[in-house]
Every structure is written in C-alpha cells, then in structure tokens.
Amino acid sequence: MSYLMAAPDMLATAATELQGIGSALTAATAAAAAPTTAVAAAGADEVSTAVAALFSARAQAQQALARQAAAFHAELVQTLTAAVDAYAGAEAANAAPLQSLVHHARALVDAPTGALAANPVAGSTAPGLSGARAIALIMGPSGFPVPPTTYLNAVNWLYVQVLDQGASVFPLTTPEGLYPITGVNSLTFNVSVTQGAATLNNAIQFLVGAGNHV
C-alpha cells in the first residue's frame, strides 16, 4: 500500500512561486519578440537578407515554443492550485470528527465513572449471562491482570461501540506476566500467554454456550 503526505501550505507556496516564474518568463519572451522576430538585414545584398530572414524565422519558432511552454506552465500552476484546495478541503472535513474523537477520549480519561455508569462493567470473571447478547471480553496489557477502568472505557467507546453499538464490555482477568519486566515473581511470557489463552477460550466457550455473541 502506498501512502501520500501533503502539506497544503507548502503546495500553495510552490504554486505562488511557479506563477511568479511563469510571469517573469512570459514578460521576457514578450520583450524579446520584437527585436528578434524582425531582424533587419545588415545590407542590401541577398546574403544579408537571407541571414536576417533565417534569424527571424528562428526567433519566430522560439516564440511559438515559448507560448507552448507558457501554456503548459499555466496548466501546471492551475493543477497545483486545485490540489491545494482539494487537500485543504479534505483536512477541514477530517478535522471535525477527529477533534470530536479526541474530546470524547479525554472525557473518558477525565471522568471514567460517568462512562461506567452508562456502560456498566461486570466482575473480573466471565459473567453467567444467558440470551443473545453482544459481549466484548477485554484483557489488560502486560503487567495489568485486571484491565484498569480507564482502559476499559477507552476500548469500549473508541472501538467496541464503533464496531458493535450496544455491545456489553466485560474485563477478563489474565496473568499478563512478562518476566522480568513485570517483576521477578511474575510468570514468563510463554506461560502467561498459555494461561491467558486458556482463560479467554473458557470464557468464550461459556458465553457462546449461553447463547451470547462474543
């Protein structure tokens, strides 16, 4: 997959500079047109006349090429300016939802109890629920056997509710050991993962058996 990063301010500056360069080239070409496309013969003889005609023809061809280059340059500036507007519009369109997401995430961290009241979280073991319900089991990061409240709320609102609105979130206690990073008395990574996977599997089987969607 390819990624593209664009800075509208830099693109706008480049477009302005290119437009200035184009204007300078157009002015220089126009100033050179009269003295180069109508070269006077140095004398009345045929050779002087032929040389003057040759130089004039060359200058006229150069003027034609300059006009083509100016048209291409103007099209490039126009395309770049349109790109600036497009990227700026995309940034403006994406800014509002991102700001709303950041605001909501900060609210979760600053006031976790309010989020819990709206979406209660059960105990640390797999709940004995029956009936078709959507349930998300959340495990803690390394060193946190019981997922912290702020962590649960953030995962719930930023991911679970986005993917499956109305789903219930429940913490799942797992070893989450990573010896020696999580302490000399903690489990090694392999043992911790094995026990955690077994706990998760048992919880899933229990809830699915009760008719829930996990």
Mark whether 16 and 77 lie in a shared domain.
yes
- Per the domain annotation, does 115 fall within a domain? no
Structural domains of the chain, count: 2
Residue with tokens 């008395």: 185
**3-class DSSP assignment, residue 67:** helix
Q: What is the pLDDT along the chain (214 residues), one digit of tens a residue?
A: 455 666 777 878 888 888 888 888 888 888 888 888 888 888 888 888 888 888 888 888 888 888 898 889 888 888 888 888 888 777 777 666 556 555 655 554 454 444 334 444 433 334 444 456 788 888 887 777 888 888 888 888 888 888 888 888 888 888 877 666 656 566 777 888 888 888 888 888 888 888 888 7
Mark whether 61 and 25 lie in a shared domain.
yes
Which pLDDT does position 86 carry in this prediction?
A: 83
Which pLDDT does position 99 carry in this prediction?
A: 62
Boundary (domain end) residue, out of 109, 125, 153: 109
- Per the domain annotation, does 123 fall within a domain? no
Helix (H) or strand (E) holding 154: helix 149-155
Which pLDDT does position 34 carry in this prediction?
A: 82
- Per the domain annotation, does 116 fall within a domain? no
Mark whether 102 and 142 lie in a shared domain.
no
Which pLDDT does position 203 carry in this prediction?
A: 84
Mark whether 105 and 140 lie in a shared domain.
no
Output the domain CATH number for residue 98. 1.10.287.850
Which pLDDT does position 183 carry in this prediction?
A: 62
What pTM does this model have? 0.41
Which pLDDT does position 204 carry in this prediction?
A: 86
- Per the domain annotation, does 54 fall within a domain? yes
In angstroms, rounded to a whole number, what is the distance separating the alpha carbons of residues 160 and 138?
Answer: 10
Range of the domain at 183: 135-210
CB under 8 Å, gap of 24 or more: what pairs does 119-125 form?
A: 119/153, 119/156, 119/157, 119/161, 119/168, 119/169, 121/149, 121/152, 121/169, 121/170, 121/171, 122/168, 122/170, 122/171, 123/171, 124/171, 124/172, 124/173, 125/172, 125/173, 125/203
Boundary (domain end) residue, out of 109, 124, 147: 109
Mark whether 103 and 142 lie in a shared domain.
no
- Per the domain annotation, does 43 fall within a domain? yes
Mark whether 102 and 140 lie in a shared domain.
no
- Per the domain annotation, does 20 fall within a domain? yes
Which pLDDT does position 104 carry in this prediction?
A: 53
- Per the domain annotation, does 152 fall within a domain? yes
Which pLDDT does position 31 carry in this prediction?
A: 86
Which pLDDT does position 130 carry in this prediction?
A: 47
Mark whether 152 and 85 lie in a shared domain.
no
Mark whether 139 and 104 lie in a shared domain.
no
- Per the domain annotation, does 146 fall within a domain? yes
